[in-house]
Amino acid sequence: MKKLIALLLAVLMAFSLVACADAPAGGDGDVTYAIVCKDASNPYMSRMVSGFKTACEALGVKCIEKSPETTSVDDQITIVNELVAQNVKAIAIAANDAAALEATLKAARDKGVAVVTLDSDTKGSQMFINQAGVTQVAQVLVDSVYDMTGGEGEFAVLSASSTATNQNSWIAAMKTIIEGDAKYAKLKWVETVYGDDESQKSTDETQNLMTKYPNLEVICCPTTVGVLACAQTVQNTEGCKIKVAGLGLPSEMKDYVGDDKVCPYMYLWNPIDVGSCAAYAIDAILDGKVGEVGTKFTAENETEYEVMAGDPADQQIIVGPPFAFNGDNIADWATVY
């Protein structure tokens, strides 16, 4: 009995591992592109994957997705090594760490695998598919705050974790923009808090901001989980007049976005475009169409992309400016992603 149950458990565990991975790469002659996400459970990431897959189909190549259970960089290293052993032609990865993947990715490139990063960059990548320029994102966030406060007043930032690379670079760029333009001189940035992309902590932090700063006018959340928790908390606090600005998923934020709601409008880029851009960029790299910084190439979907200098990746492509979601278009977009 004991052995039987132990065996059963082992089989179950093995099954759950297998269930996480997609079908393995095909046999000889098949060209396969792989995509590695930050973690398997993020809906934003799964839309990115769907864009990548669609583009792969259009290009006539096979596509596999492998993602770690949690946002672990160690797991990503293992996955990349496995993919190289499976002879994939290219790997697109949303890095969980800004440096730790460098040696692994370099080794993959030495074996002839094209390596691009998307969503989050890391050292060792040859091309970063940038969902939106850091300054572009920071600019729309600062402008939302400016608009929602009416040009002057107190605002705070609720971010993801204190070590999240994306969020930290946007916050730093917001600071530069506000300090560099007299237009924003009357905005008072009271505090930056971190909700760790967790509902309980984000709720705590939102409520604490309300307690600490009675005159707070806007909370700006450059994170899809944070903005949701923040909007929900503000909406459920009676008499609270705080407005929420930030980056959010339309399908999750549908209840909170609109002229008479807590979040008049918010921004995000289209993760499907980010995914497809990665696949087209890989195709261009393998075809030798990507040259020096400054060259342009037209992808299969007729979009023209410009190759720019990257940091820390060798080069980068910016997919496009962030897109605004408001009361008029949120219902339509909520059905898309």
Could you give the CA distance from residue 234 to residue 240 in angstroms, rounded to a whole number? 6
Nearer to another protein among residue 9 and residue 293 (C-beta): 9
Among 81, 162, 176, 298, binds another protein (CB under 8 A): 162
Report if residue 23 touches another protein, rule: CB under 8 A: no
Report if residue 69 touches another protein, rule: CB under 8 A: yes
Provide the minimum distance between the beta carbon of 332 and another protein in the complex, in angstroms, as a whole number.
14
Return the structure tokens found at 210: 């309300």
**C-beta pairs of 120-124 under 8 Å, 24+ apart in sequence:** 120/38, 120/94, 120/95, 120/96, 120/165, 120/166, 121/95, 121/165, 121/310, 121/311, 121/312, 121/313, 121/316, 122/93, 122/95, 122/97, 122/98, 122/312, 122/313, 123/98, 123/99, 123/312, 123/313, 124/312
Could you give the CA distance from residue 141 to residue 137 in angstroms, rounded to a whole number? 6
Q: Applying CB under 8 A, which part among 13-21, 90-98, 115-123, 278-286 lies near another protein? A: 13-21
Binding to another protein in span 188-217, by CB under 8 A: 192-194, 199-201, 203-205, 207-208, 211-212
Nearer to another protein among residue 2 and residue 111 (C-beta): 2
Nearer to another protein among residue 1 and residue 182 (C-beta): 1
Provide the minimum distance between the beta carbon of 20 and another protein in the complex, in angstroms, as a whole number.
6
Structural contact between residues 325 and 248, judged by C-beta atoms closer than 8 angstroms: yes
DSSP-derived letter for residue 13 is: H
Size of the site for another protein (CB under 8 A): 44
Q: Determine the residue type at 111.
A: K
Q: Applying CB under 8 A, which part among 79-87, 105-113, 225-233, 284-292 lies near another protein? A: 225-233
Q: Which residues bind another protein (CB under 8 A)?
A: 1-2, 5-6, 9, 12-13, 16, 19-20, 39-43, 46, 69-70, 162, 192-194, 199-201, 203-205, 207-208, 211-212, 225, 228-229, 232, 236, 251-256, 334
